[in-house]
């Protein structure tokens, strides 16, 4: 790669500049401005038009000590460090793919592995990642690409070539950011991106919307995110130009300007014509978030936030994921936006809530949370984490369900995938670990004036004060089983700073005390405590853990009206056939006039049960457990939306 072509620097000077904290800009070096928080965890960025309000803490600064750590360790040890066939993934780049888009697998595995390394700093994991990266870099083709398609066949639209090269970029980028800043990796990313730019673009090149396997070719434009991350690393203007081409000239899909449709406020299910594919649409908008950071153009913020709010209002189910196969998009195999928030009790649904979609939603919420300090995004992360995400994971940790159901067999591995070196690999059991690996990254963040707590699983945190001093935070709790969260705040010296704590929107009655003094709070906000903090200060947060009864949303099928569900704190509850042979028998829940129901804690029936309660019905109490812990991999079934013996009190409503 000729670095003089863009910046007037030699290759050695370029990497020396990176090591010294200099950025390449318009042929000049600009001194890095030190972040006063001292986090040091971001990309090697060009100056951004919009900086994130909240920033990740440095690697290793967040250590879960409760349930989330158990799930993370199980997935890491039994999947990423267990059976993932890295050698088989690399072999596709030498020998070719068996099926379209199969070259995505390597990038997905290395992306989650790199974020796991950020959390664990595990030397064995680092060794695995270093070896597979070296193996992959040896596959570079004569035009610099790392592709499953020979150069003569590039860009291979039906094969998913651009989608695959996107995931190579994402895997290498996360490795470079979290594991090792190896100049050879950056060289490979630049060469990979340049191979795409040489082939794809305005005529006479191949238009990006003419490349892909789907009805509107949306998947190829999702390369937007890694292209912009590479622009932020290098300052090479050609990458910003290519991003501008995708967003402002093509709009993300063949025949449909997806970004403009979001800007107009269309429902997610109405975006992209006949192919409102949930996973790929959100992946594209991760790139839109990056474009907004770089340009500061409010148009892109509006499009991003319109889609975000549309998903929350029209698509999210009880467990925090969305997408389905009825009644609007049966051809999408349960993976398209489908008014799922309204249709989630529709008995015709056979497939819904792809794990790839849920994890990408979690990641999109991460952008919203970091950019705007929006507490709704943290609520959404928590909702999906405790329900849809760990509810999709195999009990042993070596894989994830492809889709999930709320009633019946909740797990299903059938979908896009193949057996690689004896291991059945799908897009979803590669993306599931990425969701888990993202949780430490989002659990606690850094604002300019102090730390921000977003999740309340037991955790140990090392954050910074505005003066750059360390503050240790210990969260001790049995949450989400109980609602009392005790937080020890231990700054290295007495100092004034702000501690922000998320007050979930569902917690109507919340008590917050600092050293016994009550602090007023509002549901659905970050409570800001500005004070002089001293070693040994104690915070006690008591959240409203009353169990709430939720009515069926009344979608397009009247057979779906006769259901109710129970949610306690962030956790969705369900009846489990493993412990209850009458799990799907109709009942009438004894809720009060405010919509709450008595929920008596009982002994958990299994080691992974987060919550177990008994609730009253007209025919006697029934036992409910958290949705996530119900094991349907053994053929048993679940009942999350409980059928009612009598119709709900209020008159039936049609779909809004």
Tens of pLDDT, residue by residue over 385-429, are 999 999 999 999 999 999 999 999 999 999 999 999 999 999 999
Let me know whether 520 and 551 are in one domain.
no
Mark whether 488 and 455 lie in a shared domain.
yes
Same domain, 479 and 509: yes
- What is the number of structural domains in the chain? 3
Strand-strand pairing, 484-491 and 470-477? antiparallel
Q: Do 518 and 560 fall into the same domain?
A: no
- Let me know if residue 611 belongs to a domain: yes
Q: Does 38 map to a domain? A: no
Residues 534 and 453 in one domain: yes
Residue 32 pLDDT exceeds 70: no
Beta bridge partner(s), residue 450 = 447
- Contact criterion met (CB below 8 Å) for 495 and 532: yes
Q: Is 446:37 a contact under the CB 8 Å cutoff? A: yes
- What confidence score (pLDDT) does residue 329 get? 87
**Gap between the Cα atoms of 160 and 104, Å rounded:** 9
Domain assignment of residue 524, yes or no: yes
- Omega before residue 568 within 30° of 0, cis: no
pLDDT in tens, 503-543: 999 999 999 999 999 999 999 999 999 999 999 999 999 99
Separation CA 13–CA 33 (nearest Å): 20
Report pTM. Answer: 0.93
**Alpha-carbon span 267 to 278, nearest angstrom:** 12
Say if 564 falls within a structural domain.
yes
Q: Looking at residue 45, what is its pLDDT?
A: 67
Residue pair 172/106 in contact (Cβ under 8 Å)? The answer is no
Kindly state the helix (H) or strand (E) to which residue 372 belongs, with its residue range: helix 355-372
Within a domain: 74: no
Residue 479 is part of a domain; what is its CATH number? 2.60.40
Separation CA 148–CA 150 (nearest Å): 7
Q: Are 456 and 528 found together in one domain?
A: yes
Query: Which residue, 525, 542, 559, sits at the end of a domain?
Result: 542
Tens-place pLDDT, residues 67-107: 999 999 999 999 999 999 999 999 999 999 999 999 999 99
* Confidence check: pLDDT of 25 > 60: no
Report if residue 150 sits inside a domain.
no
Same domain, 483 and 558: no
Residue 88 placed within a domain: no
**Residue 2 reports pLDDT greater than 90:** no
Least confident of 237-241, 289-293, 328-332, 543-547: 328-332
The residue count for the chain: 656
Please check whether residues 458 and 509 belong to one and the same domain: yes
Q: In the listed set 542, 567, 589, which residue is the last one of a domain according to the structure?
A: 542
Can you tell me the distance from the alpha carbon of 540 to that of 501, in angstroms, rounded to the nearest whole number?
A: 11
Same-domain status, 595 and 639: yes
What's the confidence (pLDDT) of residue 19? 42
Are residues 569 and 598 located together in one domain of the fold?
A: yes
Q: Which tokens go with 414?
A: 């059938």
Residue 7 in domain? yes
3-state SS class at 242 = helix
pLDDT of residue 367: 98
Distance CA 425, CA 605 (A): 31
Q: What is the pLDDT of residue 648?
A: 62
Give residue 498's domain range.
446-542
> Domain boundary at 502, 526, 542, which?
542
């Amino acid at each position: 790669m000729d670095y003089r072509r863009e910046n007037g620097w030699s290759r050695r000077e370029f990497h020396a500049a990176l090591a010294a904290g200099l950025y390449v800009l318009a042929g000049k070096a600009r001194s890095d401005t030190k972040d006063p928080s001292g986090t040091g965890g971001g990309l090697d960025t060009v100056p951004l038009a919009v900086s994130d309000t909240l920033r990740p803490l440095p690697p290793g600064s967040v250590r879960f000590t409760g349930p989330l750590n158990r799930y993370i360790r199980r997935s890491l040890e039994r999947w990423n460090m267990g059976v993932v066939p890295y050698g088989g993934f690399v072999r596709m780049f030498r020998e070719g793919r068996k099926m379209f888009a199969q070259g995505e697998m390597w990038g997905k595995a290395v992306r989650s592995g790199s974020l796991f390394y950020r959390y664990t700093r595990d030397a064995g994991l680092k060794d695995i990642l270093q070896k597979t990266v070296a193996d992959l870099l040896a596959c570079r083709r004569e035009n610099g690409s790392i592709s499953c398609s020979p150069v003569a066949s590039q860009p291979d639209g039906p094969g998913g070539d651009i989608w695959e090269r996107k995931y190579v970029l994402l895997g290498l980028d996360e490795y470079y950011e979290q594991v090792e800043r190896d100049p050879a990796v950056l060289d490979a990313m630049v060469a990979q991106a340049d191979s795409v730019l040489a082939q794809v673009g305005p005529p006479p090149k191949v238009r990006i919307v003419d490349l892909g396997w789907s009805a509107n070719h949306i998947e190829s434009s999702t390369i937007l995110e890694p292209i912009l991350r590479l622009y932020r690393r290098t300052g090479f203007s050609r990458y910003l130009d290519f991003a501008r081409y995708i967003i402002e000239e093509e709009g993300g899909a063949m025949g449909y300007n997806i970004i403009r449709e979001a800007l107009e406020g269309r429902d997610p299910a109405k975006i992209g014509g006949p192919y409102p594919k949930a996973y790929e649409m959100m992946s594209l908008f991760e790139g839109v978030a990056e474009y907004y950071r770089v340009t500061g153009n409010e148009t892109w913020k509006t499009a991003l936030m319109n889609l975000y709010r549309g998903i929350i209002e029209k698509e999210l189910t009880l467990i925090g994921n969305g997408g389905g196969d009825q009644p609007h998009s049966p051809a999408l195999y349960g993976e398209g936006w489908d008014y799922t928030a309204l249709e989630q009790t529709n008995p015709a649904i056979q497939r819904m809530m792809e794990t790839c979609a849920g994890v990408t939603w979690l990641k999109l919420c991460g952008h919203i949370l970091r950019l705007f300090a929006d507490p709704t995004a943290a609520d959404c992360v928590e909702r999906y984490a405790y329900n849809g995400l760990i509810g999709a994971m195999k009990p042993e940790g070596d894989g994830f369900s492809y889709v999930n159901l709320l009633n019946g067999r909740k797990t299903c591995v059938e979908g896009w995938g193949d057996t690689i070196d004896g291991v059945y690999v799908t897009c979803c059991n590669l993306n599931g670990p990425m969701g888990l690996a993202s949780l430490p990254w989002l659990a606690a963040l850094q604002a300019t004036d102090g730390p921000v707590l977003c999740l309340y699983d037991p955790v140990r945190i090392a954050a910074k004060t505005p003066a750059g001093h360390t503050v240790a935070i210990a969260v001790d709790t049995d949450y989400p089983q109980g609602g009392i969260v005790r937080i020890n705040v231990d700054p290295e010296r007495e100092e004034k700073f702000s501690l922000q704590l998320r007050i979930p929107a569902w917690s109507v009655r919340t008590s917050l005390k600092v050293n016994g003094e009550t602090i007023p709070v509002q549901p659905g906000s970050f409570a800001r405590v500005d004070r002089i903090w001293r070693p040994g200060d104690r915070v006690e947060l008591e959240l409203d853990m009353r169990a709430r009864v939720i009515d069926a949303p009344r979608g397009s099928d009247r057979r779906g009206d006769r259901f109710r569900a129970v949610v306690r704190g962030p956790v969705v509850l369900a009846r489990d056939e493993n412990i209850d042979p009458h799990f799907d028998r109709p009942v009438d829940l004894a809720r009060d006039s405010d919509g709450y129901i008595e929920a008596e804690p009982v002994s958990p029936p299994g080691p992974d049960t987060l919550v177990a309660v008994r609730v009253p019905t007209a025919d006697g109490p029934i036992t409910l457990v958290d949705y996530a812990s119900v094991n349907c991999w053994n053929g048993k079934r679940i009942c999350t939306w409980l059928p009612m013996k009598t119709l709900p009190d209020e008159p039936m409503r049609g779909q809004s």
